[in-house]
């Protein structure tokens, strides 16, 4: 275990995330004044990294070697070696100075850990999950491309490649959102928390359909009740996109899908809906009859997600759909008439090599999906993957610049462009998840949920609603307020407490 002693609260998330990125094989624990006193006393002497923050200075001791970060001296030393005739770089420096001590602290920590390990993080000191928000916000303020790229590199030590990727995606998002009612409209998420099996890496709300078969009808009863009440709450608001996810929505039987979708379209005005997505997801849950139900109800976008096209890996991770089933499900979706099909891949799965990734990408490009979502494996505490790592070692999870580029090349071969990006904690290789799509087939809901620019009303067990409000700020600008309410995760609790779930939405959206 890598133990960090930190004398200041509100820095622990950033410290934990950065140390973990440099030492992925270690469990990282950060001790702060909020840590239980007996735990702090017992572990503090074992700390490999000690950090004492005092005003605008931070004293570090890493593996016995002391060093000092001085914010004031760093700001005095900030300078660009190039001439700056138009003042652009001076403006970047001013922006960096305005960001304050915490960003500088994180820059120093990255530099310190780089010296100790020799590793370079592609996203530098960025620890949040939405690196494109920086570029998006600066574009809104009218900043130039050069300003934004310099800011990523100078303030956050982001690589040139990742900075350009973030900027490219932010521009594409802004163009798409120009046609969305993201300020005065909303999107709808509906969660179906059942799966054929639970994959090794998964931490989402999902329950084996085999064990919950007798609860599905009661779950749908409650979900439809929540839909009915929500339709009343949101009456008069413009609905832009609808996304049914999970879990695996296609674990429902055809009649159950028909019941759910029929009532959904009776309750909500779909005349303004620009995208209607259902995650078919698992090929072992897909049949032609189910696909026909989705198509007949106007679903415009579906996902058929292989994650990998290596059978041995599918067996290891507990994803029981075979490679052949994936290909058959994809062909069935085309036969039924779907012209907007997404496929998800995960890089860094247990035991997979660069050649395995190339094999997967080659087979997927032969099928020709309309969008491709490339995930870097994220190690979740609640997943069975943690136990696998204990038994086999983290070195068996390999994601590299080369594997990321193989996926990007496959997307380019299909004529797809990157259109959304997000990161998660403990991602393999400290990389990112990127959505690629054909122009005209960009996933609207994916952009809205990741950039947090529109209200998302979420129904079903384990779902989280977000109310996004735009308000005038005192400086003449605008502030964004995000408020949330959650539904309970467990199916039986959701059924038992459905009235409470509805009331939470009434409080959030009506008051």
Q: Give 100-124 pLDDT, tens digit per residue.
A: 889 999 999 999 999 999 999 999 9
Count CB neighbours of 10 within 10 A.
10
User: Which residues touch 236 (CB under 8 Å, ≥6 apart)?
Assistant: none
Predicted pLDDT of residue 229? 98
Q: What is the CATH number of the domain that holds 394?
A: 3.20.20.70
DSSP conformation letters of 146-212: HHHHHHHHHHH---HHHHHHHHHHHHHHHHHHTTS-TTTEEEEEEEE-EESS--TT--SS-EEHHHH
Give the residue ranges of DSSP H helices in 275-396. 288-296, 311-317, 323-336, 354-367, 385-392
Helix (H, G, I), strand (E, B) or coil at 372: strand
* Rounded mean pLDDT, 385-403: 73
CA separation (Å) from 282 to 153, 322, 436?
Answer: 40, 10, 20
The pLDDT confidence band at residue 33, using thresholds 50, 70 and 90, is very high
For residue 377, what is the DSSP state?
P
Does 64 reside within a domain?
no
CA separation (Å) from 390 to 27, 209, 394, 408?
Answer: 11, 28, 8, 31
Name the nearest CA neighbour of 319 among 228, 235, 197: 197
For residue 469, what is the DSSP state?
E
Whether the bond into 247 is cis, omega within 30 of 0 = yes
Q: Is the pLDDT of residue 200 over 80?
A: no
The pLDDT confidence band at residue 400, using thresholds 50, 70 and 90, is confident
User: Which residues touch 98 (CB under 8 Å, ≥6 apart)?
Assistant: none
Instruction: Give the count of domains, the chain.
Output: 1
CA 410 to mean position of chain CA atoms: 21
Spatial distance between the Cα atoms of 219 and 493, rounded to a whole number of angstroms: 10
Does 466 reside within a domain?
yes
Predicted pLDDT of residue 82? 54
Domain that holds residue 482: 179-496
Helix (H, G, I), strand (E, B) or coil at 59: strand
Spatial distance between the Cα atoms of 337 and 357, rounded to a whole number of angstroms: 29
Does 269 reside within a domain?
yes
Higher-scoring residue by pLDDT: 82, 355: 355
Spatial distance between the Cα atoms of 29 and 52, rounded to a whole number of angstroms: 16
Predicted pLDDT of residue 477? 72
Q: Is the pLDDT of residue 341 over 70?
A: yes
Q: Which two tokens stand for residue 283?
A: 């090929």
Predicted pLDDT of residue 389? 66
Contact (Cβ atoms closer than 8 angstroms) between residue 223 and residue 189: no
Q: Which two tokens stand for residue 220?
A: 């749908």
| Whole-model pTM over 0.75 | yes
pLDDT, one tens digit per residue, over 407-440 is 999 999 999 999 999 998 777 778 899 999 999 9
Q: Is the pLDDT of residue 80 over 80?
A: no
Does 137 reside within a domain?
no
Does 145 reside within a domain?
no
Higher-scoring residue by pLDDT: 389, 446: 446
Predicted pLDDT of residue 374? 96
Contact (Cβ atoms closer than 8 angstroms) between residue 140 and residue 102: no
* Rounded mean pLDDT, 29-35: 95
Predicted pLDDT of residue 395? 59
CA separation (Å) from 51 to 10, 11, 99?
Answer: 13, 10, 21
pLDDT, one tens digit per residue, over 453-489 is 999 999 999 999 999 999 887 766 788 899 999 999 9
* Phi, psi for residue 426 in degrees, rounded to 5: 55, 45
Bridge partners of residue 278, in order along the sequence: 244, 302
Biggest CA–CA distance in the chain, Å, is 72
Q: 48-57, 78-87, 156-165 — which is least confidently predicted?
A: 78-87
* Rounded mean pLDDT, 224-234: 98
Question: What is the Cα gyration radius of the chain?
Answer: 24
pLDDT, one tens digit per residue, over 230-281 is 999 999 999 999 999 988 999 999 999 999 999 999 999 999 999 999 998 8
Predicted pLDDT of residue 171? 96
The pLDDT confidence band at residue 96, using thresholds 50, 70 and 90, is confident
Give the residue ranges of DSSP H helices in 414-497. 444-451, 491-496
- Name the pairing type of β-strands 478-486 and 464-472: antiparallel
Predicted pLDDT of residue 145? 95
Predicted pLDDT of residue 46? 94
Count CB neighbours of 133 within 10 A.
18
pLDDT, one tens digit per residue, over 311-340 is 999 988 888 889 999 999 999 999 999 999
CA separation (Å) from 106 to 22, 52, 346?
Answer: 13, 14, 29
Q: Is the pLDDT of residue 384 over 80?
A: no
Predicted pLDDT of residue 380? 64
Does 299 reside within a domain?
yes
DSSP conformation letters of 74-124: HHHH---SS--TTSHHHHHHHHHHHH-HHHHHHHHHHHHHHHHH----TTT
Q: Is the pLDDT of residue 379 over 70?
A: yes
Contact (Cβ atoms closer than 8 angstroms) between residue 229 and residue 215: no
Predicted pLDDT of residue 161? 95
Predicted pLDDT of residue 301? 98
Does 387 reside within a domain?
yes
Share of the chain above pLDDT 70, in %: 92
CA 460 to mean position of chain CA atoms: 20
Spatial distance between the Cα atoms of 498 and 495, rounded to a whole number of angstroms: 5
Predicted pLDDT of residue 26? 87
User: Which residues touch 377 (CB under 8 Å, ≥6 apart)?
Assistant: 201, 346, 347, 348, 349, 385, 397, 399, 427, 428
* Rounded mean pLDDT, 164-190: 95
For residue 396, what is the DSSP state?
G
Does 86 reside within a domain?
no
């Amino acid at each position: 275990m890598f133990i960090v002693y930190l004398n200041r609260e509100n820095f622990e998330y950033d410290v934990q995330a950065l140390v973990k990125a440099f030492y992925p094989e270690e469990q990282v624990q950060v001790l702060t004044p909020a840590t239980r006193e007996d735990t702090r006393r017992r572990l503090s002497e074992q700390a490999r990294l000690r950090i004492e923050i005092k005003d605008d200075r931070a004293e570090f001791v890493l593996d016995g070697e002391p060093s000092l970060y001085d914010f004031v001296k760093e700001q005095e030393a900030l300078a660009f070696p190039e001439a700056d005739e138009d003042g652009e770089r001076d403006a970047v420096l001013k922006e960096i100075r305005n960001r304050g001590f915490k960003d500088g602290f994180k820059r120093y920590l990255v530099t310190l850990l780089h010296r100790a390990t020799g590793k370079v993080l592609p996203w530098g000191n960025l620890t949040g999950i939405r690196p494109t928000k920086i570029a998006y916000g600066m574009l809104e303020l009218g900043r130039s491309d050069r300003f934004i790229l310099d800011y990523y590199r100078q303030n956050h030590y982001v690589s040139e490649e990742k900075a350009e990727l973030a900027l490219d995606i932010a521009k594409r998002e802004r163009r798409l959102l120009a046609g969305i009612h993201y300020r005065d409209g909303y999107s709808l998420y509906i969660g179906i928390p059942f799966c054929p099996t639970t994959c090794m890496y998964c931490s989402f709300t999902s329950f084996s359909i085999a064990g919950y078969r007798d609860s599905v009808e009661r779950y749908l009863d409650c979900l439809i009740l929540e839909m009915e009440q929500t339709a009343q709450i949101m009456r008069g608001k413009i609905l832009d996109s609808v996304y049914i996810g999970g879990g695996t929505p296609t674990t429902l039987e055809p009649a159950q899908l028909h019941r759910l979708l029929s009532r959904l379209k009776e309750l909500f005005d779909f005349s303004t809906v620009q995208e209607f997505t259902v995650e078919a997801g698992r090929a072992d849950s897909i049949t032609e009859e189910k696909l026909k139900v989705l198509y007949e109800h106007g679903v415009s976008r579906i996902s058929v997600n292989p994650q990998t096209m290596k059978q041995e890996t599918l067996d290891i991770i507990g994803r029981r759909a075979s490679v052949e089933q994936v290909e058959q499900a994809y062909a069935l979706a085309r036969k039924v008439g779907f012209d907007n099909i997404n496929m998800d891949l995960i890089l860094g799965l247990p035991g997979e090599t660069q050649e395995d990734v190339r094999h997967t990408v080659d087979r997927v490009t032969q099928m020709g999906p309309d969008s491709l979502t490339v995930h870097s494996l994220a190690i979740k505490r609640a997943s069975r993957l943690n136990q696998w790592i204990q038994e086999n070692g983290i070195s068996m999870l390999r994601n590299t610049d080369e594997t990321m580029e193989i996926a990007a090349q496959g997307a380019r071969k299909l004529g797809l462009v990157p259109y959304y990006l997000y990161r998660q904690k403990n991602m393999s290789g400290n990389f990112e998840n990127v959505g690629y799509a054909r122009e005209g087939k960009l996933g609207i809901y994916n952009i809205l949920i990741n950039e947090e620019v529109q209200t998302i009303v979420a129904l079903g067990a384990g779902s989280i609603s977000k109310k996004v409000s735009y308000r005038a700020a005192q400086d003449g600008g605008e502030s964004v307020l995000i408020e949330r309410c959650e539904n309970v995760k467990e199916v039986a609790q959701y059924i038992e407490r459905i009235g409470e779930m509805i009331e939470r939405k009434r409080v959030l959206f009506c008051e």
